Amino acid sequence: MHAIRLHAFGPADNLRYETVPDPVPGPGQVRIAVAAAGVHVIDTTLRAGVQAGPLPLPDLPTIPGREVAGTVDRIGPDVPETWLGRAVVAHLGPNPGGYAELAVTEVERLQDIPATLSPAQAVAMIGTGRTALGILQFADITPDTVALVMAAAGGIGTLLVQHLRNAGATVIGLAGGPDKTATVARNGANLAVDYLDPTWPARIRTAYGDRPATLLLGGVGGETARAAMNLLAKGGEHLSYGWVGGPLDYTEAELADRAITSRNVLGPHMLERAGGQRNLETRALTEAAAGRLRPALHTFPLHQTALAHHALESRSTTGKVILIP
């Protein structure tokens, strides 16, 4: 089979498109003929040789990637034959191997792909979709909520905007550049703002007042995050799910003075509140199958994985990055 392998940590160009032996499923495992594989920002961090949260650096050489969808083409011992030929999607967990034409995983990780979803859409929901729903379970969303969503044109941001609008909230979406801003507006945001324009906070204040936001959803840090925090009303809530642009430059004293709650919602507590990872995955797939959530996709051929990593790291992608073998 063809796969992407990493032989040395470093830049995206270290990702190589190679021919490797076909994997064989062991006891309790299946093999998936991959139709779509997801790319996560954590993949770029691990590729560079930096540990990403609880995930250790892999032994090299490695096939990266932990999100796949396709058809079960082979089963291991102790796996019911009814799995053969089924369209499935799976998050591979701590063991990578998704950037390939064939991938092996445990049968208990499989989810059936709803008939209304493509493999690429299913891949977007199995990881990014579950994360978006996991984030939002920490917020009390009502029609009075004014939510400011950072990176609103990204894979997570797209789904956050849709879910918030479905709940009746007012949504202000931030994105970089006019094309992404237009995408956020089409996605349903009440106001879409280009954060590359230094006057963007003034535009929001003109439309909604001095400190209009009651909820800030952000996966980026740095100056943009600080400016967004300054738009939070007293007693507002900030839910973070990572800092692409650096740490949040806001002190505990500043938060306390404005009675703002700020917390990073990623980690085991997200899954505990959701009732487990599988429950979140099932909910995400169900919402997409019903058309209530519509993942945005940015696809690349498998052999252009290095280009996909370059694009993701330079923030030139829109939506979830997907590899097509």
DSSP track, 111-158: EEPPTTS-HHHHHHIIIIIHHHHHHHTTS---TT-EEEETTTTBHHHH
Task: State pLDDT tens for residues 3-54.
Answer: 999 999 999 999 999 999 999 999 999 999 999 999 998 999 999 999 866 7
At 145, is the pLDDT very low, low, confident or very high (cuts 50, 70, 90)? very high
For 236-252, what is each residue's pLDDT tens digit?
A: 898 888 655 455 666 67
Instruction: Let me know how many helices (H) and strands (E) the chain has, helices first.
Output: 11, 15
Question: Which tens digits make up the pLDDT trace of 164-210?
Answer: 999 999 999 999 999 999 999 999 999 999 999 999 999 999 999 88
Q: Is the pLDDT of residue 73 over 90?
A: yes
pTM for the structure as a whole: 0.91
Quote the pLDDT of residue 253.
Answer: 75
Q: What is the mean pLDDT of residues 137-143?
A: 91
Count of CB atoms situated within 10 Å of the CB of 186: 10
Distance of CA 277 to the CA centre of its chain: 14
Residue 318: the pLDDT is 85
pLDDT of residue 219: 72
Ranges of CATH 3.40.50.720 domains, the chain: 139-264
Percentage with pLDDT > 90 across the chain = 72
In the predicted model, what is the mean pLDDT of residues 287-316? 95
Distance CA 138, CA 134 (A): 8
Mean pLDDT within 142-168: 94
Residue 15 in 3-state DSSP? Answer: strand
Confidence (pLDDT) at 275? 72
> Can you identify the CATH homologous superfamily of domain 2-126+296-324?
Medium-chain alcohol dehydrogenases, catalytic domain (3.90.180.10)
Q: Judge contact between 241 and 264, C-beta under 8 A.
A: yes
Classify residue 194 by its DSSP letter: E
Angle of CA points 222, 224, 229, to nearest 5° = 95
CB-CB neighbours of 183 under 10 Å: 20
| DSSP code of residue 197 | S
Kind plus residue range of the DSSP H or E element containing 227: helix 222-229
pLDDT band at 211 (very low <50, low <70, confident <90, very high): confident
Yes or no: is domain 139-264 CATH 3.30.360.10? no
Contacts of 202 (CB under 8 A, 6+ apart): none
Helix (H, G, I), strand (E, B), or coil: what is residue 17?
A: strand
b/e string for 218-256 if b means 16 or more Cβ within 10 A?
A: bbbbeebbeebbebbbeebbbbbbbbbbeebebeeeebe
Where exactly does CATH 3.90.180.10 map onto the chain? 2-126+296-324
Cα angle 300-292-221, degrees, rounded to a multiple of 5? 60
